[in-house]
Amino acid sequence: MLSYYLKLALISFKRAPSLYFLVILTLAIGVGLLSANLALVNTMASDPIPGKSERVFHVSMNTWPNDQPSVEPMHILRYRDALKITESDLPEHSAVFYATGVYARDAESASLTRHDSAVRATTPGFFPLTQAPFAYGSAFKQSSGMEVVIGDELNQKIFAGANSVGKTLELDGELLTIVGVLKPWMLRPLFYHATEGRAFNATDDIYVPLETAIDLGWSIHARSSTTEENASVKRSRDIDLYFLQAWIELAEPGQLQVFQDYLDHYSQTLKDAGEHPLAIRNELDDVNNWLLKQKVVDQKVLAFTLASVLFLCVCVFNASSLLLSRFHAGKFEVGLRRAVGASNKDMLMQGLTESVLVGLIAGVLALILSWVFLKLSGEFLPDLSKLAVLEPEILALGVLLALVTAIASALYPLYRASRYTISAELK
């Protein structure tokens, strides 16, 4: 019977190709637009390090040395506060870093071409904490030393993707040795620097030991605050310059309160010394809670997604109207088939088979249109270009939506077809 129903569906398509083309196109546009928006939301709301995100925490503290500003705990820390975090044996891994930038070139090359590179000045714990994937070599072991790890993109630009471990980079006039090269690495969102609107930036080009960057005086390329005049990175160890972000990874969730007590005790020692005028407030947020706080899911995208749902409902209504006109035009055929013995169940099964076929074709077209919509969004809104990724689950959801909407749009026409009076149609 299935092959028979499919044969009847193809006959219907041949009889009214323009109508079915409009039905398929209407559903495909609605589903494609919604799928594109769901892909954006899915990327924004995804877990960047599944499996351990509930054990990785961002550290915020309010160790500002005077009572102004009396605000929420700051996501940036002083050098001595951050150092206290790295001194603790409680975390399995800890990472303290700041964003900077340099011009990089192959020190052994005759070419003077320099590449503007984003740099992460960090402690070694950054690599196991973020699960950075290595293609060659390994991470540096100390927070000081003239060693660097570089990303895949920079390695492609300078060394054509070859194993560059042991090569020397000239970074703003300083010579540093490459000890590791990362594989292509995409974090969405970039949880370790989700502030300042960087949640969907690419991962960094270069990773350098924190103490080395401070000694070299590499400037801060992110938010910083200070109570000092003429503050500089080189003096950051001794002054109230807030510019470092800190993350920790705990082996067990039960250690969270222990580390919270550790931070509170440290703040209390500052207060006892008269260096902490504010109320003690230190916060530890796991990865997903931190991303939620940073509102990485754009409210405008959510609003547009809701509008896309309403638009899809309109598309279903329009498709249903078109199919209703098709069934109404073919009511004589329906009456004739009923007269020769076809039951309402048979008519329903044939209509559902036709709807499923329409849904499958619309689903394939919807996936193509969703890819087009994402590309267009990246062209007209460059900030969305890094989010325009169709994950397999979104592709499957798009096809499922197309099937559901195709069946939904056919339900009322099928109901009306089942109500036709056989005798009236034959007469």
Of 376, 295, 365, give the one whose Cα is nearest residue 23. Answer: 365
Percent of the chain residues topping a pLDDT of 90: 47
Please check the confidence at residue 222 and state whether its pLDDT lies above 90.
yes
Q: How high is the pLDDT of residue 71? A: 63
Q: Are strands 115-122 and 206-209 parallel, antiparallel or unpaired?
A: parallel
The dihedrals phi and psi of 188, each to the nearest 5 degrees, come to: -130, 110
CB 7 within 8 A of CB 345: no
pLDDT, tens digit (0-9, with 9 covering 90-100), for 285-300: 999 999 999 988 777 7
Please check the confidence at residue 380 and state whether its pLDDT lies above 70.
no
Q: How high is the pLDDT of residue 223? A: 92
Q: How far is CA 63 from the centre of its chain?
A: 32
Q: How high is the pLDDT of residue 404? A: 87
Q: Which residue has the higher pLDDT, 98 or 305?
A: 98
Region class of 197: left (phi > 0), else alpha (psi between -120 and 50), else beta? left
CB 390 within 8 A of CB 374: yes
Q: How high is the pLDDT of residue 41? A: 82
CB 412 within 8 A of CB 346: no
Residue 85: is it exposed, middle or buried by C-beta count within 10 angstroms (0-12/13-18/19+)?
buried
pLDDT, tens digit (0-9, with 9 covering 90-100), for 318-342: 888 887 776 665 555 666 565 565 5
Tokens of 402: 């197309």
Q: How high is the pLDDT of residue 378? A: 67
Q: How high is the pLDDT of residue 20? A: 81
Average pLDDT over the chain reads: 85
The dihedrals phi and psi of 176, each to the nearest 5 degrees, come to: -130, 145
Angle at 223 between CA 287 and CA 293, to 5 degrees: 30
Q: How far apart are CA 257 and CA 250, in angstroms?
A: 11
Query: What integer is the mean pLDDT of 203-208?
Result: 96
Which value, to the nearest 10 degrees, does the dihedral of the CA atoms of residues 415, 417, 419, 422 take?
Answer: -160
Q: Which residue has the higher pLDDT, 376 or 61?
A: 61
Per-residue pLDDT band at 178 (split at 50, 70, 90): very high
Q: Which residue has the higher pLDDT, 16 or 161?
A: 161
Domain positions in the chain are: 2-47+297-426, 95-251
Please check the confidence at residue 352 and state whether its pLDDT lies above 80.
no
